[in-house]
Structure 1
Amino acid sequence: MVMSSCLPVWPHDLLWGLSVADVPADAPAWVTGVVGAGQPVVVRRAQVAEGLVAVGVRGHSRDQRYATAMRVADITRRVRPEELIEAVDNQTADWPALRALRQMRPVMDALGLPWGVAGSVGFELACGAAVLHQDSDLDLILRTPAFFSREQAAALVDALEAAVCRIDLQLQTPAGAVALREWAGPARQVLLKADDAARLVVNPWLPEDCAA
């Protein structure tokens, strides 16, 4: 998390305020086009200097992803994944990923934990950019400040399998993020994505418990 005097910023948040003038000179031309169009950038996990936040610019295709940083002081608007859940009610498009979000809302709400929409679905819901297609997945996050057992994870995987498209869900622990499917699986060690690095751990809620 990055904290300014009044604005907490977390991975997967969408931010507005990056200017074309602050795009690195060696960035691909499409990056300048996206930023110039006023589209948001997404907060990513990386360590940057104080006063900056690591962000990613997304283009029109899956291979168009560009990592950079922006000044926290330049942020003019922030939308969190949790804020996008109800936005699907205003959508007239009927892509499978949007249908899956509507379908799985009761399942996610029943967990009693904060959750939200990330990835291409979150991006389209937040800014209206037409990025979804027939084969788009649904990316969700679930905030799990306390231990979420492997048995709970397996039950949630089973519930999400009923969706009309593939759902990829990340558990957001205080130490970083871990894929729900991986935590629900049989492997003793799972990959924890933290701000400083990705590493294998036995318990994603105990980051010091790393694999040897």
Structure 2
Amino acid sequence: MEAVSLKQAEDETLGTSASEEVGADILCPHDLLWIEDAKALTTVSPLPPWASADRLLRAPVVVRREKVDDPRLVPVGLRGKTRSERFAAYLDRNAVARRIRPEMMVDHALAYIEEQRGLLRAFEALAVLAPLLDATGLAWGPTGGVGFQLASRLPVVRADSDLDILLRSRAPLSTAQMLELRMICSSPICRIDIQVDTGNGAFSFAEWANVNAQWASGNGRVLLKTDTGPVLTTDPWHTNNWQDAESVKPA
């Protein structure tokens, strides 16, 4: 692995009002992290040209799903200005200065959302759908480009961007919640992609809604993204019921 040495930026990254110190807390996929010591960023191959020192120290990195044997290392992803600009790396958790979780973003960025909703459909969808997501009673927050821009104020959301939502549910979704989420996903404003995090991994709500329709035939399985790789299972909540789970090999 190649260690990346960067000069620490003087300007404080935007989005600090909703951030928190990490300490010994567990870092979860989709958490956004600001680097305190840029030398702690380690890569398998050299950084691409778009990952400049200035951008790395202004923009947060996002926690990825990957099983890492060394507890000191956090798998993270670097994000550039375009969809093709993504890069995997590892970060020494002791170098994390601040962390913001998806569910912490919206309440601390209401003014910014109002400012952007007239310019970008994904932010308009966030403003309109936030009360409906709150009504599910589940913790939720924006991820993807919208979450990144809310946290960093760096303009990465495009006119055709989706709204990506992470929803945390440690128990199976109720019928009422399923109906509410179906209605949210049918929004005409832009494409809505909801990922449900069960604590064991995360799955696509749209796929799960389709799986529910297949239960009668006994063929319904959903793709669950876990730290050790994706699996197909009929029960994404209970690991002890995964006798039916099937690992999915990369193409």
- The TM-score normalised by the length of structure 1 is 0.90
Structure-to-structure mapping, 1:1-212, within 5 angstroms: 5-17=23-35, 19=38, 22-24=41-43, 26-33=46-53, 35-48=55-68, 49-91=70-112, 92-93=115-116, 94=118, 95-149=120-174, 152-153=177-178, 155-186=180-211, 187=214, 188-207=220-239, 208-211=242-245
Q: CA separation of 1:36/1:178 partners in 2, compared to 1, >3 Å: closer, same or farther?
A: closer
8 Å contact kept, 1:178–1:193:
yes
Q: Distance in 2 between matches of 1:124 and 1:79?
A: 12
Return 5+ residue gaps in structure 2 as ranges.
Answer: 1-21, 215-219, 247-251
8 Å contact kept, 1:192–1:198:
yes
Return 5+ residue gaps in structure 1 as ranges.
Answer: none
8 Å contact kept, 1:118–1:141:
yes
Higher radius of gyration, 1 or 2: 2
Corresponding residue SS for 1:181: helix
Shift of 1:147: 1.4
Point out the more displaced range, 182-191 or 115-124: 182-191
Q: Percent identity?
A: 37
Q: Distance in 2 between matches of 1:38 and 1:100?
A: 26
Instruction: Let me know the Cα RMSD of the aligned residues.
Output: 2.1
Point out the more displaced range, 20-29 or 95-104: 20-29
- 1:167-210 CA distance string (max 9 Å, x none): 10000002100000000003501100000110101110123243
8 Å contact kept, 1:20–1:36:
no
Q: Distance in 2 between matches of 1:90 and 1:46?
A: 35
Corresponding residue SS for 1:63: coil
Q: Which amino acid aligns with 1:82?
A: E
Shift of 1:133: 1.5
8 Å contact kept, 2:185–2:193:
no
Point out the more displaced range, 173-182 or 147-156: 147-156
Point out the more displaced range, 186-195 or 201-210: 201-210
- 1:19-56 CA distance string (max 9 Å, x none): 16735352212224465442100011001121111110
